[in-house]
A and B are shown apart, each in its own frame.
Chain A
């Protein structure tokens, strides 16, 4: 079938996605797809629906309508095991959402132990490796309250990686972090990208987007306005809304 041909080799295919909160339609028919190992950056003004779109992909916000195919399987809330889906999709939040009652190590090991029913010793050994990977070996026994925002966000990244996701979603991962600590987090994300992680990143970090993104999608008012390589989109934006948004971001 032609449709399957088109989808072959795609990790993600989103068609005509809608999401409403009550009578307020926030995502108004969005479609895009993604190759394995592709790095997608999502940009757009505040309130344009970026967070909602990303949260629809792992059903933290159930879409109102539309089709999402992940890793070759059409997600159907009636028959798909949404929890299993979420194991395969890591998520990093703007507010970190690390677990404050647990140490960095416990934060990272919790998912594998509770969800994957893994052996605790093995899970903690791997958690140590992941903390080393994000540069936080020395913080393993610290609780989030004793860590900087940049450190907490790196714990959150390690926590997501511990589930061995096939896709990582980052929702403005550096927007709540002190400017001088942002690079710590971006460096970890660049490293992940270099290792071939498939990722969708909502960010306004132009440097990161230029360096890492295969494609940038610009959203406004619940719709995709324009997409292309970082060079195409940043240097030659076609749509007026993209142009005016970029001029504002660059001024800031």
Chain B
């Protein structure tokens, strides 16, 4: 039974959860992008051993549920003496997870740049790093933005998994309200609307960017 009054009365509580969701998304995304770029570059240019290690990382993470990685980081790290509070633990696991996908985004973008571009850079005497920094990566910028925006939207949704380590994100708060009011449906609908308000603009932005790149 949907009761709008329940959503309305608990809106500040829900919005506080949305704030946590958004903060976690942004922090995780920043680290995931930095790590993804690094992993992608190491995978392409790191040589045989580093290439194989990063490839293994990418494939393992992409083949594993994000939830499992979150639980692993939260429950397994303390065993080896690393005690992370909820928020950093959640951010680290989500970043580790998304870095694998983002590494592939950067790899695809770098590989889409014609070989002649790096050859021209090399012919001027540039090192591999200089060619990347001044010639290749600037050209990938427009190409990586749409897929990165897509990953960002997906990450907004995937942050809901941190409810499993009792983090009070948007979904978790909705469940609290549901338990308190004996009406689980209403706050969930409220949360769904707030998720949509966050993801839709990002996905629309991504679509617009894609159109401009073509």
B-binding residues in A (CB < 8 A): 58, 60, 83-84, 86-87, 89-91, 93, 95, 97-101, 110-111, 114-115, 156, 159-160, 163
- Give 17 CB contacts A-B under 8 Å: A58-B123, A60-B119, A60-B123, A83-B122, A90-B123, A91-B120, A93-B116, A95-B116, A97-B117, A100-B139, A110-B134, A110-B135, A111-B124, A114-B130, A159-B120, A163-B124, A163-B125
Pairs of residues from A and B, 9 with the lowest C-beta to C-beta distance, nearest first: A97-B120, A87-B125, A97-B116, A111-B124, A91-B123, A115-B125, A86-B125, A83-B125, A101-B138
Complex Cα distance, B102 from A227, in Å, reads 54
Bound CA span A89–B125, Å: 9
Closest to B130 in A: A114
19 other contacts beyond A93-B116, A111-B124, with CB at 8 A cut-off?
Answer: A60-B119, A60-B122, A60-B123, A83-B122, A86-B123, A86-B125, A87-B124, A90-B123, A97-B119, A98-B120, A99-B121, A99-B135, A101-B139, A110-B124, A114-B124, A115-B124, A156-B120, A159-B120, A163-B125
Interface residues of B (CB under 8 A from A): 114, 116-117, 119-127, 130, 134-135, 138-139
Q: By the criterion CB–CB under 8 Å, are A159 and B139 in contact?
A: no
Count of chain A to chain B residue pairs whose CB atoms are closer than 8 Å in the complex: 59
Bound Cα distance from A114 to B122, whole angstroms: 12
Instruction: Report the Cα distance A98→B125, complex, angstroms.
Output: 15
Residues of chain B within 8 A (CB-CB) of A84 are 125
A113 to B138, CA, bound (A): 17
Closest to B119 in A: A60
A64 vs B138: C-alpha distance when bound (angstroms): 33
Asked whether, in the complex, the Cβ of B126 is within 8 Å of the Cβ of A83, the reply is: yes
**Distance between A59 CB and nearest chain B CB, rounded to angstroms:** 9
Query: Closest A-chain residue to B142, C-beta based?
Result: A101
Q: Report chain B residues within 8 Å CB of A98.
A: 120
Complex CA gap A97/B113 in Å reads: 11
Evaluate contact between A160 and B123: CB separation under 8 angstroms.
yes
Question: Is A99 a contact partner of B120 (Cβ separation < 8 A)?
Answer: yes
Min CB distance, A249 to chain B, in Å?
A: 25
Q: Which residues of A contact B117 (CB under 8 A)?
A: 97, 99
- A156 partner residues in chain B, CB cutoff 8 A: 120
Closest-CB distance, A57 to chain B (whole angstroms): 11
Contact partners of A83 in chain B: CB under 8 A = 122, 125-127
Chain A contacts for B122, CB-based, 8 A: 60, 83, 86
Which A-chain residue is minimally distant from B134 (CB atoms)? A114
Residues of A within 8 A of B119 (CB): 60, 93, 97
Chain B residues in 8 Å Cβ range of A93: 116, 119-120
Residue numbers in B under 8 Å from A163 (CB-CB): 124-125
CB neighbours of B138 from chain A (8 A): 101
Complex interface: chain A residues within 8 A of B120 (CB): 91, 93, 97-99, 156, 159
Expressed in whole angstroms, the Cα–Cα distance for A95 and B120 within the complex equals: 10
